Chains A and B, each alone.
Chain A
Amino acid sequence: MKIAVASGKGGTGKTSVTVNIALSLGKVQVLDCDVEEPNVHILLRPTDEGTFPVKLLVPKILEEKCDYCGECARFCQFNALFVAGETAMVFPELCHSCGGCSIVCPRDAIIEEPRNIGRVVKGSAGDIDLIYGEINVGEALAVPVIAAVKDHIDEGSTIIIDSAPGCACPLVETVHGVDFCLLVTEPTPFGLHDLQVAVEVVRILNIPMGVVVNFAGIGDREVYDFCEEQDIPVIMEIPFDRRIAELYSKGIPFVEAMPEWRQRFRDLVGLIGEEVEK
């Protein structure tokens, strides 16, 4: 079973929920798909077992063949090529690697070369396998790095996937193909607004979902009202507790200091299993 842990709003506790589920279950594979700011490894402290570069094919113009006709630049939907006079330029950071320019070039003057945009790191912490992606600073495209992380999925195991915040392409790429999406939110107007946005995406993708209300006790009841109206189960509440926040600040998953939570996280996964069966 593949469970994605997502949220529209950042800082609601996705990573904390991911790590605490993983530690409570044991023998799971954890993927950190928040490749802009991966944090799971800070809490799990894995041993490094290998790093794999993530490369994207980008065009290279062969000056000796190019006659500066400009077909490639006119075709490129991402403005990654520029041709004027006797100059042809590639802006690799804008390239989405569709391969279109090399197809349309009438003189076969464009070849593609791999360019490093990030890396995937594999490691393990006890019986948990962790795979996380990291985009190079200054690179714009998170999606190919997320896809590279997901290439390491071991279909046989239980897989917990930590997503980036937001509701755009990184979320879509992360939750694509999972069995269940756990949306972590906080009971505040910001939490509600961003939950509504995330729910829209998960609905479009037709993935079963449930909500974890973190920092329960602060704010108001609107998140609960929304979940009831929308018929989305609130399957866990984690209270606002200064002790949990202080543990997190030191990089300690709270199930390690509060072991009574382990069973609750195991029950949570049991509930998710039932929801998926439906």
Chain B
Amino acid sequence: MRKMTILSGKGGTGKTTITASLAVLSSEAVLADCDVDASNLHLLLKPKVKETIEFKGLNLAVIDPEKCIQCGLCEEKCRFDAINDFVVDSIHCEGCKVCVQICPVQAIDFVERVCGHAYISETRYGPLSHARLIPGMENSGKLVTLVRQNAKKLAEEGGHELVLVDGPPGIGCPVIASLADIDKGLVVVEPTLSGIHDLERALELLEHFKVEPLVCVNKKDLNEENTEAIERFCSEKEIDVVGLVPFDPVVTEAMVAGKPVVDYAPDSPSSRAIGEMWETVKSHLGI
């Protein structure tokens, strides 16, 4: 089984557009949306949810005002500024349990909290593992891990040879979680100075976790000089630029129609470029 995460460092470069289109072109893959706090893949793949799994993150400390003697020890020891006036602020509580441990009168309960839901779904293009973090909750990394594991299980059970993972933006905890146990990382970059800066950090991250990088330049004609700079930079690092996708207004039209662009407008310039990229990616994946 081969697994590829589509990531970007910078947000909004076209990860989801590319992932959804590769899902159509592969026709065989299990899909995973690891952007659990701002997921979008479902808006293009229109899943039918078959199974919902409650996701419990870390517990929450709750002070019982009846038992509390207002000694202030918990407030002093909490390193997350989550306790003020003998009340725990659920948004800032990390669930570390220190306050529960040190309370001299056992006035603090440690209760489970649901932080989100994971879903197993069916789409026109294959099975989809996805999730929704309850806005503002911690632990998106753990929920990402659950989504990734669910996708792997779906692939094993259904005999699929490919898992395509739509990654979150950034390079922190959820991105790291979306790269565990992955063969290739396809970085989608726009030819802007910010995009190049973020690409460099995303490539460093892939190197750090020993995931083999591939690069796709999206909206390549926005700044041809920068596109050439990206190609030069990648060639120096011996990283393959597998796709050059032009700016194409049809991408937004497809999004409004709720369809992957290669399905919505297969002959559009962007769809043709994504199609060519898919052939190259396949050879890299050895499928």
Contacts and interface: CB of A to CB of B under 8 A. Distances in A.
- For A10, A164, A176, A220, which residue has the most chain B Cβ atoms within 10 angstroms? A10
B93 to A, nearest CB: 11
Nearest to B173: A140
Contacts of B141: 140
Interface stretch (B155-163, B190-198, B236-244, B264-272): B190-198
Contact of A137 (B79, B171, B222, B256): B171
Given A77-B59, A99-B98, A135 B169 contact: no
Given A172-B136, A188-B255, A189-B255, A137 B201 contact: yes
B38 A194 contact: yes
Interface of A, secondary structure class, is: loop
Given A135-B172, A246-B223, A167 B135 contact: yes
Contact of B222 (A36, A77, A249): A249
A27 interface: no
- For A97, A103, A138, A190, which residue has the most chain B Cβ atoms within 10 angstroms? A190
A104 B223 contact: no
Interface string B106-139: 0000000000000000000000000001011110
Interface string B142-171: 000000000000000000000000001111
B136 A201 contact: yes
A75 B193 CA distance: 45
Contacts, number: 193
Contact of A37 (B9, B91, B176, B209): B9
A201 B191 CA distance: 32
B3 interface: no
B169 A37 contact: yes
A8 interface: yes
A15 to B, nearest CB: 7
B43 A164 contact: no
A169 to B, nearest CB: 5
A94 B149 CA distance: 19
Interface string A135-166: 10111111000000000000000000000111
- For B8, B80, B192, which residue has the most chain A Cβ atoms within 10 angstroms? B192
A11 B13 contact: yes
Interface in A161-219: 164-172, 176, 188-190, 193-194, 197-198, 200-201, 204-205, 218-219
Q: Which interface class (under 10, 10 to 19, 20 to 34, 35 or more) fits B?
A: 35 or more
Interface string A32-60: 00111101001100000000000000000
A197 B140 CA distance: 14
Contacts of A239: none
A39 B197 contact: yes
Given A98-B79, A249-B222, A200 B205 contact: no
B164 to A, nearest CB: 18
B6 to A, nearest CB: 13
B257 to A, nearest CB: 9
Given A188-B252, A188-B255, A193-B38, A140 B176 contact: yes
A248 interface: yes
Given A37-B169, A77-B58, A204 B79 contact: no
Contacts of B258: 189
Interface string A1-31: 0000000111110010000000000000000
Contacts of A9: 11-12, 38, 40
B140 A103 contact: no
B98 A37 contact: no
A266 interface: no
A245 B221 CA distance: 11
Contacts of A96: 94, 96
Contact of B11 (A10, A35, A135): A10
Q: Which 6 A-B pairs have the closest CB atoms?
A: A10-B11, A11-B12, A98-B96, A36-B170, A249-B223, A251-B193
15 contacts: A11-B10, A11-B11, A11-B13, A37-B169, A42-B193, A75-B101, A77-B59, A135-B172, A137-B205, A142-B170, A170-B170, A189-B40, A189-B258, A218-B252, A248-B192
Interface of A: 8-12, 15, 34-37, 39, 42-43, 75, 77-78, 96-100, 103-104, 135, 137-142, 164-172, 176, 188-190, 193-194, 197-198, 200-201, 204-205, 218-220, 245-246, 248-251
Interface of B: 8-13, 16, 37-40, 43, 58-59, 77, 79-80, 91-92, 94-98, 101-102, 133, 135-138, 140-141, 168-176, 190-195, 197-198, 201, 204-205, 208-209, 222-223, 226, 249, 252, 255-256, 258
